[in-house]
A and B are shown apart, each in its own frame.
Chain A
Amino acid sequence: MSAEVRLRVWRGDATGGGLIDYTVGVNAGEVVLDVLHRVQATQAGDLAIRWNCKAGKCGSCSAEVNGRPRLLCMTRLSALPEDPITITPLRTFPVIRDLVTDVSASYEWALQVPSFAPPQNPEPGGYRMQQADVERSQEFRKCIECWLCQDVCHVIRDHEENKPGYAGPRYFIRHAELDMHPLDTRDRRGPLREEHGLGLCNITKCCTEVCPAGIKITDNGIIPMKERVADQRYDPLRRVSWPGRGGARRGGGPQRPARARP
């Protein structure tokens, strides 16, 4: 070991807990998850951490390092300010134990997003499309479901009362991914506004700032969906000038008939 680092790790469960200090050896190039594993191996065998790939691809080891939501496996110690380093669980989700939180609410929201709905009985070749048609949606497929965007979003982080009616950034880009797909026939704007709380988002871009996959959640997902909702709901001129094309007639219903959208 070439050096030591001081850690302040939140230990506890749903009933309460606090920060416990550990001093542990550290090697050059190590990440926060490495030293937490060393603490687990040498000083606190019962320290609970959720982790899996150690490569920033599985989204398991999400926590807050010095108050900022991060993946533990992608946070190099050399990139942090002087120690001590404070590591706490995701604040938006209920704690199970130590750094492990209950993120099941996010998976329940996943069930609320209507699935991809391609047209029924398409003509031969009807599912054919160009790269340009799907590349916008592909950006959102990079999501590793680490829930850092949900954690940092102040709409539910600071307001427990908003949780039942707010799907959060991860599901806004899921809606965007499907709504921008040229073969999806479902109109998602009504449910997105009324049931999933798109209007609660005030586009302060923290979700984009913490996304480890580099997805431009706000600029490419949330704002385009806000504009699509505005097309349907808040733009009277579009209703007059383009009836049936993105205006009032598209709205509301759960599924539009057969043809792919323009």
Chain B
Amino acid sequence: MVLLAFVAYAAYAAIANRDYYAAPYLSPFYSPCLSFHCGMVPGSHGVPHLGWLGTWWIVTPAVIILIFPLGFRMTCYYYRKAYYRSWWLAPPACAVAEPHRRYTGETRFPLLAQNAHRYFFYAALVFNVILTWDAVIAFDFRGSFGMGLGSLVLVINAVLLWLYSLSCHACRHAVGGRINHFSKHPVRYRMWTFVSRLNPYHGNFAWASLMWVALTDLYVRLVASGAIHDPRFF
């Protein structure tokens, strides 16, 4: 239900194509802003944009961005467990009979594509860097250092996304899981040990980061639309 609610909200937020920037806060659904049209819609005035897509891209720029985090989460080993059980009923619960007559698991297309999880993980790391930068510039109030509630919201968003990404099974494999002689690779063994400590909480980080990223967008949306005022701490 939570996953469905998130998908519905993300679809609305992406299609809305407005109210995603309230200086200095940029919604994570629209970061990085790739189109020249960023800043021309209501609630986006002054948004920093890269302009890589030029002027021809007229639909919401969030569509391109959301593909990668969505792909990362849809191929995530934790979410797979969750939606195979709750959406596909394979199985509905442990030792409860599933309704399907045939079962081929992840041996055929399209589920064979779950093996691309590591590529989405690499993309997620890039987005984490971008969203961390967004959290840093959320303390820049027209050239002077300051902090508002939005700055805190964006920092928590970046931290939760890093925790979710670094506790990922593909990350655990990449940093050291694929080697067998740990004693010959002490640095990679340390990294693997660190990720292994985070890994049991991957599901918790998955839900926390999912909900927080939606709340972050909602907060920026409400501030950008003028519905609420961002309280400044200093």
A residues with a Cβ closer than 8 A to B are 64, 67-69, 91, 129-130, 132-133, 151-152, 154-155, 157-159, 161-162, 179-182, 184, 197, 199-206, 209-210, 219, 223-224, 226-231, 233-235, 246, 260-262
Contacts and interface: CB of A to CB of B under 8 A. Distances in A.
Contact of A200 (B97, B106, B182, B185): B106
A158 B106 CA distance: 16
Nearest to A224: B177
A209 B205 CA distance: 20
Contacts of A157: 91, 95, 97
B77 interface: yes
23 contacts: A68-B94, A68-B95, A133-B182, A154-B90, A155-B103, A155-B105, A157-B95, A158-B103, A161-B102, A179-B180, A182-B180, A197-B107, A202-B84, A202-B111, A204-B84, A204-B91, A224-B173, A227-B169, A227-B178, A231-B178, A234-B115, A234-B116, A260-B181
Interface of B: 77, 80-81, 84-85, 90-91, 94-98, 100, 102-107, 111-112, 115-118, 169-170, 172-173, 177-185, 189, 199-200
Contacts of B77: 203, 223
Nearest to A183: B180
Contact of B180 (A151, A161, A200, A261): A261
Given A202-B105, A235-B118, 6 more contacts: A68-B95, A133-B180, A133-B181, A158-B100, A227-B178, A260-B180
A262 B95 contact: no
A231 to B, nearest CB: 6
A210 B180 contact: no
Instruction: Across the A-B interface, give the 6 residue pairs with the lowest CB-CB distance, nearest first.
Output: A200-B105, A206-B94, A130-B183, A234-B115, A227-B173, A199-B107
Contact of A219 (B90, B105, B111, B200): B200
B105 to A, nearest CB: 4
A219 B169 CA distance: 8
A132 B94 contact: no
Given A202-B84, A224-B173, A219 B199 contact: yes
A210 B106 contact: no
Nearest to B107: A199
Contacts of B90: 154, 202, 204
A210 B94 contact: yes
B94 A152 contact: yes
Q: Taking each of B84, B95, B96, B107, which has the highest tally of chain A beta carbons within 10 Å of its own beta carbon?
A: B95
B128 to A, nearest CB: 20
Nearest to A69: B95
A209 B173 contact: no
A262 B179 contact: yes
Contacts of A206: 91, 94-95
B180 A159 contact: no
B115 A230 contact: yes
A260 B100 CA distance: 44
